[in-house]
Amino acid sequence: MSRTILLTGAGRGLGRVMAHALARDGHSLLLSSRSEDTLIETAAECRALGAAKVAYVLADLAMAGEAERLADVALDRLGTIDILVNNAGIAINEVSKDYLTNPYRFWQSDRAIIERYLAINTVAPMILAIRLVDQMKQRGWGRIVANTTSLDTMLRSSLYGASKSGLEAETAIMANDLAGSGVTANVLVPGGGCGSRMTDEMGLPRDAVLPPEIMGPPMAFLASDASDHVNGRRIQARLWDASLPPLDAMDQAGDVIAWTGCGIQGVQPAATKLSTPGQY
């Protein structure tokens, strides 16, 4: 079945790969990024690959009100949004081109750069989900997919790690809140550094990093009805075996979303009926 999809950060890299995978399955796409040139290229490629409909909109998610505007434009252009892919992000190379050999320390930050990372990587994805989830729930079907980062990267990268961990935590909360509604929320990550403009700028050869194309098959699966019962999971694309049946590939590549499987969880007051971590 063809679905309507809003994909942020669609101009290049992992976003472009996921757009291609969704186009091949005949979905309708609204692509968003800050760069019109790259969006034009991605949109043309998606049309050639068989997307039912392709449109794009420029949006700078660091700006107040842009996420709200993007959600409104998406509904206006496509009528409904079945799937939200929160892929847009600002990486650590914005503040450190050589962070692998010269780590960026938290005390190097100031309020302006902290707020920029949080605005793009945490706040905008939350706003988009808030604005789009009601119409998903009304139809009893929907997907929220977030590209966060590897758990160890969250510990190594100030700004980026903190902002992406916030998005992961909120996606876990979404999954819990949406349980039983027909709308799911999951995290999809490459599982390591992927070849991109960022890794090129860092001087990393493409054979030293993961190919971005690994994101395509799990993204296509999450957009399908076969993933109806997959909720609150963290999927590593590098572990996805496309030769397996999709649900088997999901079992191999999926794990609990952070941080439900990490450490000793707290207990809730006995008199309450609060949901407990891991109820996905």
Active-site residues: which are they? 160
Distances in whole angstroms, Cα of residue 269 to Cα of each of 162, 260, 274, 276: 29, 18, 8, 11
Q: Are 237 and 191 in contact (CB under 8 A)?
A: yes
Q: Are 260 and 277 in contact (CB under 8 A)?
A: yes
Strand-pair partners of 184: 143
Q: Are 39 and 11 in contact (CB under 8 A)?
A: yes
CA pair distance 274, 130, nearest whole angstrom: 22
Residue whose C-alpha is closest to residue 54's, from 74, 83, 71, 70 = 74
DSSP string, 198-254: HHHHTT--GGGSB-GGGGHHHHHHHTSGGGTT--SEEEEGGG--TTS-HHHHHHHHE
CB atoms within 10 A of CB 56: 22
Q: Strands (DSSP E) along the chain, which ranges?
A: 4-8, 28-33, 53-58, 83-86, 142-146, 183-189, 233-236, 254-256
Buried/exposed code over 174-184 (b: 16+ C-beta within 10 A; e: otherwise): bbbebeeeebb
Cis peptide before 259 (omega within 30 of 0): yes
